Every structure is written in structure tokens, then in C-alpha cells.
Amino acid sequence: MAAYLQWRRFVFFDRETVKEPPGSDGAGAKPFALPPGIAVCDSGRGSLVFGDMEGQIWFLPRSLQLSSFQAYKLRVTHLYQLKQHSILVSVGEDEEGINPLVKVWNLEKRDGGNPLCTRIFPAIPGNKPTVVSCLTVHENLNFMAIGFADGSVVLTKGDITRDRHSKTQILHEGSYPVTGLAFRQSGKTTHLFVVTTENIQSYMLSVKDYPHLELDTHGCGLRCSSLSDPSQDLQFIVAGNECVYLYQPDERGPCFAFEGQKLIVHWYRGYLIIVSKDRKTSPKSEFAGNEAQNSDKQVLNIYDLCNKFIAYSSIFDDIVDVLAEWGSLYVLTRDGKIHVLQEKDTQTKLEMLFRKNLFEMAINLAKSHHLDSDGLSEIFRQYGDHLYNKGNHDGAIQQYIRTIGKLEPSYVIRKFLDAQRIHNLTAYLQTLHLQSLANADHTTLLLNCYTKLKDSSKLEEFIKTSDSEVRFDVETAIKVLRQAGYYSHAVYLAEKHEHHEWYLKIQLEDIKNYQEALHYIGKLPFEQAESNMKRYGKILMHHVPNETTELLKILCTDYRPSGDSEGHGMLEGKKANSEEFIPVFANNSRELKAFLEHMTEVQADSPQGVYDTLLELRLQNWAHEQDEQIKEKLHDEALTLLKSGRFKTVFDKALVLCQMHNFKDGVLYLYEQGKLFQQIMHYHMQNEQYKKVIEVCELYGDQEACLWEQALGYFARKEEDCKEYVAAVLKHIENKNLMPPLLVVQTLAHNSTATLSVIKDYLVNKLQKQSRQIEQDEQRIQKYREETTRIRQEIEELKASPKIFQKTKCSICTSALELPSVHFLCGHSFHQHCFESYSESDSECPTCMPENRKVMDMIRAQEQKRDLHDQFQHQLKCSNDGFSVVADYFGRGVFNKLTLITDLPSGKAATTLEAGLQRELLIHTKRST
């Protein structure tokens, strides 16, 4: 039971007296006056409806233009205006006595200017004359209930506007007057509340036989009951003189202690309106008109049962009734005046509550008025500010939490940044994250709060409860946790949300858990595993070299993530570029060698850098090894690698590596592969390996003849006795005629220990060969002179004496010559038909033509080479016998001076004649050859 004395009082309604519309004379408006004799009233469908003691029913619209019609001959006792239909039900008398009639009026239809009366029937149940005490009608027009002073209730079921479609029966009989009736519709269930002066009952009309239930053993007076709206769950309100009770169809609900004699009870928009007297009267007087003749002041209270306050309270003189229409309350008083109570708007109400710091009540009021979230948020903010200023920080933060989503978080955060308020700030930030409204800065702040409080349980709860939806910026959280030293929490977040780089950074740099980090990399997709091994490979190699090497082998051959073997088994393996991971092994040569050897074994097409590095590594190991057996093994491994054919494109690099490590066999092998025969010989010369020098000359002298000359110069400069080697070289030079003897003598002159006996045999043989060559040349010269003399004589004979042709046979067919025939100066004769058949030119002998062509081609070739001076110089420089080259070019006419003769000068006849003889000699030579 709630005592109304504890409820606060407010003035949420404005009271005014209804004035008449201003007249045409412009005079001040007078209070509106109702017709005299008003007995009953109701409202609905845009009008206030009144019934008077003379049988008239009046309608007052909002324009205040009264209208009426004669409904009964004597008086109107009850009215009920339906809210959803233009139907008015009235009870009145047409004759003296107790014979009340019920009339149903259709206000939308007219009968002679008056509303159409669709039904008239007597209200008295049976033959008992009794007075009608109350009337109610169901909004679906299927039920109407009439209560009587003798305690009976008549129920009309069916269409209440027509006689033949409805059925009337006595629902309730009792010994106490019926003071109130109300229909309650909940879904398809219909209940009828019946209240008398002594009890309250509930009938279920949607079930056959209408079962009923007695709810209480006390009742109320006339007009002291009402049905609430859905905000109070359609409860039946019964107002006694001490308390107000609320009922459900099957039980009694809450009770409110509102003292005073209750005269009128109404329900309006969530408000309970009670008109009462202050002084207490006897309960027996309640039904007998409630002492309406008493002129005591009456108090009208408007209660808000949800929020527990009195919205309005005022004193009136003798209230007839309280009606609700046009969004306002209208209070009718016995003097004929109408007072209107206009409810203030919600904002005005809230401001009134704010001024009194009644924020809780303002919140409840705003919710009951269905204020939007922005309006509620502003109330919560003001309430929070009020509590904060009072020092109630715990209460303030609770109100600020209710503003999340509307109020800027920084407004609240700035108020609670003090270290003493960190608990409040944490609560606010937690809620901000739960509603997924936090940004990265809020996450940072919340985690810092947790770490300052050292609240590990809350911290774990925060980062581990958001499985389905992450309500914070994960990367920010990881940074803050790492900075605060909560590495395990940071690692958990990084692994859960797949921030691989952060996970590895914390594991390697902070926790130093290298084994776990390496295992984690092995579970990553190929691209991420590759990038992270490049980034952290050196650290891992330093601490866990063997495991890191194994992972790199897998990564560079056939990588598949190690997490889900079934899921990844069908995927095609990927491989990284092994050359890019060589820097990872900077200080781990043993692991590097194992890695490179593995790569060359499983992947013959590994990058060149792998082979280069492996060669360098093997050469280093060979150079620093002290054990002869191991050194020999390393020597063979390095040489085998060189001979694998992988260094053809990087010949220079491999050669430099071998030279740096003084790897003799490797250097010689590379010289041989590169056809650097002179370098091979020079290498042996530097090491004074005389036999090796001779061997090189014998092996490669045919490909590069100058090797023997260089060997002779090398041995000639040696001071020790090299007679054996010099003799071998001279023998080869002599056989191949590689050097002139004079140059050989000059070369050997550099050796102070060499004697003439070293080259005695060489010189004797050389002189003998030259003597024989001179004799042959002299014989050839004599022959050429005799041939030249003979040819000149033949030319002279051709010029001076006739040529007699005595051939008797054809030179082609060997048959006897017959005329016509063709004869040539060369002595050949042909049948004319044979000549025409075989000759290619009319001026050339078919028999001599092939030899003549050879001579002409030689002459033409020599003429073309006359201007090849560069080629001449080159051959002269490179040839061992320069004289032969000069003689060859002299024969080609290279050194002949070209003279262009345009006129024959005097004294030159002999020259001209000589030139003619040479030309004729040439022709003769062509034909006679």
C-alpha cells in the first residue's frame, strides 16, 4: 500500500474557465454557461453530451455551439457515448413512475433533424420495478450491461442497435445496489466487472454460462469506479473512502491509500482523476447521492500511479462531472460553468522537475511519455552532472553510462580522469565497449585503467569474452598491453585475431620464446611465413639454428602450413627463393652449408646465388682446415661443385673466389674451361713448374701457337740451366717454323748461362733448309726466265709472220675438218656446228676457256685486294715471315702506282708499244694455255 501523503505534488495542468466565443460587438468574452437542470453527461466523438431533467439531450462541440433534441418526455437519467462509434445509449423516463426506457441513437443518421433512434426497450429486468443505477456498453456493440438499485444486472448480447439481433438476460442478482460496470477486452476474452456497495465480481462473457469470480468483499459508491488504459493493464479501479484498489479479472492488484470521501473517479491518459471531499462522512450516505446537496468544497486530484506523484490538485465548487475530450479535461460545476484543465507539454514538466532536482522522477515521467532517446539522454546527462557536483561519483557514472550512444564520451571521460575516480571511469569505458561504440583511444584508456588497477581478471574477461564480435580495436589493445608488460594477454589477442607480426614481435622481442615463434611461423600461410622469416630469421637462427634451418628447407622446397594437415593436404605446395634467405645465416656457416647442400640436392635449378655461396663456403672451409684427410675431402667437394657446370654464366666470380682462396686446381680448371691457355702457362711459370709449362705448350700449342714463343722467352730469362727445356721448345719451333732464327738467337741472348751448343743443332738445320730453299728458288727463277723468253718470241712471231693452221681434225669431235670451220690463234680448230654447239662466246676458244677463266679470276681477285691496306698491315704484323706477305701483295699490284693516260705524249711510243705487247702476250697466254 502506497501512502499518497508521500507523493509529491506538481502543477502539470493549467486551469482555465471556458469562455463564450467573442461577439460581434467586440465585448469581452463571458464565461460559458450550461443549460440549467443538467443531470448526466458524457463525452466522445468530438462533443460533450448532456442530459437534463426535462428529457433533452444536449451536444456541445468544440465551437461551443449548443444543440439539443427531445429524447424523453420527462427526464434523462443515464448517457453512454461510445468512443469508436457514433452511437449514443441513453436511459430516461417518458412516464411518471418507475419505467425507465433504454434508447439507442445513431448520431450519423437523422430523423426529422434529430438523431435516429434505432432501438427502444424497457430497462427493468422482469416485472420488478427498480431504478437504473449504472450503464455501460462494449465498444464492439455486442454487449450492453445495465445495473439496478436492487442489485441486479441485465446483459444484452448481440447487436445492441437492433431488437431482433440481440438477446437480453439477467446476468447478476444481489441485495446490494450496483454502483459500477465495466467491460474489459483482452484478446478474444471479454470480462465484465460488477461492483456494488458491498462487493466486486468479475464475469467471463466469452465462455458459456458466464462463470464469475468474487474479487473483493467491499465496494464503492456511484461513479467511484473506472477502467484503466493499457498502461495500467486495463485494471478495474475501485475507489473507497480510504483506499483505491486495482483489480485484474481474476485477482486484486495494488492498493493506494488516498483518503477522503470519493465522489467521482475517472481515468485519463495514464492519470487517475479523483474528486473527493476532505471531511469524512458515513459510508451509508455514499449511495444516496453522495450528499450532492452539501456545498462543501470538493478537491480534484490527478494522480500518476506509475511515477507516484500528484500531477494536479485543485478545489472546485460542487462538481457535476469530469469529462475528457479534445485532448483536455473539462470539469462541470453545478453553477453551469465549464473549467478546462490543459496538460502542460512534456518539456515544461521536465523543466519543472529539473528545477527541483527531481531527476529520477523526470526520467520515469519521460519514459511513461515515450520520450525519444535523445531527450532521455539529456535527462541522464543533467542527472549525472547533478550527482557529480554533489560528489556522488558512483551514482553519476551510472547516469552517464545511460547516455552512451548520444553523449560524446569525452564529456564524461574528462570528469573522471583523476586517479581516485579510475573505478568509475573503468565502468563507463566497459559499457562503451560492450555497446561497440568505443574507438581506439577509448580502448587504450580502458586497458590502461585495468593495468593501473592491476585487475588481471577484468582484463582477461574483457579480451576473452568478445568471441563473436570484437568490440574494440585489437591492434591498439595489443600495443597497450605490450607497453604495460601484459605480454601473455597481448600474445593471446594477437594469435586469436591473426595479428601475426605483433604475435612474433612480442614472442621474440619481449618473451624470448623463440621455439614457439618458430612453430607459429610454420602454421602461417606461405606469403606471411616467407615475409616473417625474412624479418626474424637472423634472430631465430641465432637462438634455434637447427629448427630454423629445417623450416627454411621446407619453405624453399614444398611449403604447406602445418596447422590443418587435412585442409592443406590438397593444396599445391609453394616454395620461396632460397637465395633470398642466405643473409639469415650470417654467423651460422655450418647451418648455411647444410641448407645450401640440401637445396642443391633437391632442386638442381636453384638460383645461381645458392651455388656461388656454397662454393665460397666450401673454399673457406678448405682453406682453414688443418686435418689433411678432411682437407682432401673438402678439396674434392669444391672441385666437384666447380665441375657441375653451374658457373658458366658467372665464370669471373668463380675464378675470383678460387684465386682469393688460392685454390690451384680450381683456378686451372676454370682457365681451361675459359680457354685462357696463356693464363694457365703463366700460372705454372709463376710457380716455376717447368715441366708443366712444356705440357701446356704441348696440349694447347696447336690452338695458340704463341705459347711456344712465350715458353722460349720464359726459359731464356732463367739463370739456372734450362738446356733440356730450351731444346724441347726449339725443336717444336723448328718443326712448326714458328720464329725466325735471328729472333730465336736474340731471345736466348738474355740467358747468361746458355751456350751456343744449345742452339747449334737448331741453327745448322735452319741454315741447311735455307740453302736448299735458295737452290730451289734459283732453279725456279731460271725456269721462269726461259719461259718468259719463249713467250716473248712467240708473241713476236704472231705479230711479224703469218699463222698457218694445219689442223686436220676438229678439237671437239676429233673428226676430219670440213668447211666451214673456225680456227683460233691458240692452234685449236673446230667444225662450225661443233663450235656453235659448245662455245659460250664467239670470241673464246671452248678448249682454252676454263683455264683462261681461272687466270682472269685470279687477276680480278688481286685487283679487288689492292686497297685492303688494313688487312695487309695486320697480316704483316702477325706473320712470322713478313717477307712472304710483302711479296704476295707485291704480286697483286698493291705497290703499283696508278697512272691515268689521257693523251700519248711524245717519246712515249716505246712505252705504249711495250704495253701493247704485254696485252697481246696476255691474249696469247689465254689462248695457248
**What is the model's pLDDT at position 905?**
44
Q: Are residues 843 and 742 located together in one domain of the fold?
A: no
For the domain that residue 55 is a member of, what is the CATH number? Answer: 2.130.10.10
What is the per-residue pLDDT across 230-277, written as a single tens digit (0 to 9) for each? 888 899 999 988 889 999 998 888 899 888 889 999 999 889 999 998
Question: Could you tell me which residues come within 8 angstroms of residue 800 by beta carbon, excluding any fewer than 6 positions away?
Answer: none
Q: Are residues 756 and 838 located together in one domain of the fold?
A: no
In this structure, what are the phi and psi dihedrals at residue 327, rounded to the nearest 5 degrees?
80, 15
**What is the model's pLDDT at position 865?**
65
The structural domain count of the chain equals 3
Sign of CA dihedral 569, 571, 572, 578: negative
In whole angstroms, what is the distance from residue 159 CA to residue 144 CA? 9
**What is the model's pLDDT at position 665?**
62
Q: Are residues 51 and 170 located together in one domain of the fold?
A: yes
**What is the model's pLDDT at position 689?**
60
Q: Are residues 135 and 77 located together in one domain of the fold?
A: yes
Q: Are residues 846 and 742 located together in one domain of the fold?
A: no
Q: Which residues pair with 56 in a beta bridge?
A: 70
**What is the model's pLDDT at position 43?**
93
- Domain range for residue 710? 675-769
Which of 749, 769, 789 is the endpoint of a domain? 769
Amino acid at 423: H
Which of 748, 769, 790 is the endpoint of a domain? 769
Residue position matching grid coordinates 549525472: 384
Q: Which residues of the chain have pLDDT under 70?
A: 1-5, 23-28, 278-296, 369-370, 419, 460-473, 563-573, 601, 605, 608-610, 612, 614, 620-621, 623, 626, 638-655, 659, 661-763, 862, 864-870, 880, 891-929
Amino acid at 154: V
Q: Are residues 742 and 832 located together in one domain of the fold?
A: no
Considering the domain boundaries, does residue 170 fall inside one?
Answer: yes
Decide if 12 contacts 344 (C-beta within 8 A): yes
Considering the domain boundaries, does residue 742 fall inside one?
Answer: yes
Considering the domain boundaries, does residue 477 fall inside one?
Answer: no
Considering the domain boundaries, does residue 762 fall inside one?
Answer: yes
Considering the domain boundaries, does residue 919 fall inside one?
Answer: no
Q: Are residues 817 and 719 located together in one domain of the fold?
A: no
**What is the model's pLDDT at position 61?**
93
Considering the domain boundaries, does residue 338 fall inside one?
Answer: no
DSSP code, position 559? B
pTM: 0.55
Q: Are residues 50 and 169 located together in one domain of the fold?
A: yes
**What is the model's pLDDT at position 441?**
79
Considering the domain boundaries, does residue 557 fall inside one?
Answer: no
Task: Name the nearest CA neighbour of 265 among 248, 290, 285, 294.
Answer: 290
Q: Are residues 762 and 846 located together in one domain of the fold?
A: no
Decide if 105 contacts 99 (C-beta within 8 A): no
In whole angstroms, what is the distance from residue 828 CA to residue 287 CA? 178
Task: Name the nearest CA neighbour of 533 among 549, 513, 546.
Answer: 549
Decide if 310 contacts 333 (C-beta within 8 A): no
Which of 769, 802, 825 is the endpoint of a domain? 769
Considering the domain boundaries, does residue 326 fall inside one?
Answer: no
Q: Are residues 715 and 818 located together in one domain of the fold?
A: no
Q: Which residues pair with 31 in a beta bridge?
A: 19
Q: Are residues 101 and 49 located together in one domain of the fold?
A: yes
